[in-house]
Amino acid sequence: MSAARERAAPARGADFSALSYAQAMERARALVPVLRARAVQTEEARQLLPETEADLHAAGLLRFPQPKRWGGAELDYVALFDIPAELARGCISTGWVVANLAIHHWMLALYDERAQAEVWGENPDALIASGIAYPQGSARRVDGGFVIGGHWNFSSGVDGSQWNMLAVTVKEGDKPVGWRICLVPRGDYEIVDDWHVLGMRGTGSKSVRVKELFVPEHRALDMLLTRGGAEFPGAKTNPSPLYRVPLSGLGSHCIAGPAVGNAQAALELSADAVRARSTSYMGLRMRDIQAVQMRTAGAGARVDAARLVVRNDCLEAQRIAEAGRAPTLEEKLRFKRNVAYAVQLAAEAVDSLHAMAGANGIYDHYPIQRLFRDAHALLGHIGFSWDAQGWPWGLVTLGGEYGAPPTL
């Protein structure tokens, strides 16, 4: 079946406001075997499959962070990690796309009510992609809003999306004076099909391009208002502490879910393979070789540790929001340090299991090779770079002066 065929339109206006965390996780878990069966096809399609998109819509697994007043489930922030992690046990690309599309529902709740109405009032199931690198977009202020332009890489899930959130640096001359994420409808940006990559192929993370586009003020979210607290425009109608979690400190935690879920899948599939194998060289069952036992145990410990680190950050960040305060700079840097470290642990688990597969690990038909490629493609995200995310916390903790980005 071609992923380029016309997508089936979901039934609009479904109400998921009664969907609980337990129900959402159960629905995600039920999709795991389906997603595993579709994983190769998803990679070949280089985008989310239409049938997978339909399944996710029907289960409410694209709208779980959306405000209840718009028919969303408004689940706690930790669900932004847990649900993509569970789906990634079946297909990391699907988990990644869900993480991105879901957090964009969360982000839209931060916008002016007029922007929410333009998207969700027309279609509460509307999907929103993004281009989040501020240096890739520029803007100048004009009457009533901004004129923007740029070329943004890595717009995951863009093929099925009706809107896009594009990050820009607002300048006066050459001087940066602001940072906005602009909500742009599908007809106003061009998709550039450049997604030919090592791994994460099924995410469809193509580039998008815009030239001299006017964006009204209410669709240009000021990112200085999203650093924790209730200063963002949407706080008037979406007062839940869920939306007070700082995007700058916790934005990468949702996309860490697929890394952990992928590592969990590698562990499960490797255990299945070992149970069924003997070695031709020693005449032993693989499960009886102590080195195999130790490698499996080490991978399992890394997966569990990675999950606990990221989940704890999400839970702590929501508790801070519920207490009515914004996290300190040290806390935000710790969150960013932790998520990078956790994803490193997940990648180490996959690497160890791939090595354990031996020569089998090089065959296209053996799933571990795809999980290995996907783990390293994901690891390239700047939010997971230990070199970029580790030292700022160390500097601040040791009493140094850190020139934090304004949006942090």
Q: With residue 85 as reference, give the H or E element that holds it.
A: helix 79-88
- The verdict on pTM exceeding 0.85 is yes
What residue ranges in 110-219 does DSSP mark as E strands? 128-131, 137-142, 145-155, 163-172, 175-185, 190-192, 206-216
Please check the confidence at residue 12 and state whether its pLDDT lies above 70: no
Decide the pairing of beta strands 175-185 and 145-155.
Answer: unpaired
pLDDT digits (tens, 9 = 90+) for 182-191: 999 999 999 9
pLDDT digits (tens, 9 = 90+) for 72-108: 999 999 999 999 999 999 999 999 999 999 999 999 9
Q: Give the closest residue to 16 by CA, choosing from 86, 76, 63, 84.
A: 63
The reported pLDDT for the residue numbered 277 is 72
Average pLDDT over residues 156-175: 97
Q: How far apart are the first and last CA of the chain?
A: 44
The reported pLDDT for the residue numbered 203 is 98
Please check the confidence at residue 164 and state whether its pLDDT lies above 50: yes
pLDDT digits (tens, 9 = 90+) for 281-306: 566 788 888 899 999 999 999 999 99
The reported pLDDT for the residue numbered 4 is 38
Please check the confidence at residue 202 and state whether its pLDDT lies above 50: yes
Please report which confidence band the pLDDT of residue 3 belongs to, taking 50, 70 and 90 as the band edges.
very low
Spatial distance between the Cα atoms of 52 and 376, rounded to a whole number of angstroms:
24
Domains and CATH numbers, the chain: 21-121 (1.10.540.10), 128-222 (2.40.110.10), 247-397 (1.20.140.10)
pLDDT digits (tens, 9 = 90+) for 259-286: 999 999 999 999 999 988 765 556 678 8
If one counts every other C-beta atom within 10 angstroms of the C-beta of residue 357, the result is 21
The reported pLDDT for the residue numbered 9 is 38
Percent of the chain with pLDDT over 90: 91
The reported pLDDT for the residue numbered 282 is 61
pLDDT digits (tens, 9 = 90+) for 332-374: 999 999 999 999 999 999 999 999 998 888 999 989 999 999 9
Phi/psi for 397 (5° steps) reads -65, -30
Phi/psi for 207 (5° steps) reads -90, 160
Round the average pLDDT of the chain to a whole number and report it: 95
pLDDT digits (tens, 9 = 90+) for 18-65: 999 999 999 999 999 999 999 999 999 999 999 999 999 999 999 999
- Three-state SS at 211: strand
The reported pLDDT for the residue numbered 283 is 66
The reported pLDDT for the residue numbered 269 is 96
The reported pLDDT for the residue numbered 285 is 84
Instruction: Spell out the residues 6+ positions from residue 80 whose beta carbon is closer than 8 angstroms to its own.
Output: 65, 99, 102, 103, 106, 253, 254, 257, 314
Spatial distance between the Cα atoms of 254 and 237, rounded to a whole number of angstroms:
24
Taking CA 152 as the corner, what is the angle to CA 151 and CA 158, rounded to the nearest 5 degrees? 120
Spatial distance between the Cα atoms of 247 and 112, rounded to a whole number of angstroms:
16
Please report which confidence band the pLDDT of residue 6 belongs to, taking 50, 70 and 90 as the band edges.
very low
8 Å CB contact between 125 and 155: no
Q: Give the closest residue to 215 by CA, choosing from 325, 307, 114, 344.
A: 114
The reported pLDDT for the residue numbered 279 is 59
pLDDT digits (tens, 9 = 90+) for 121-144: 999 999 999 999 999 999 999 999
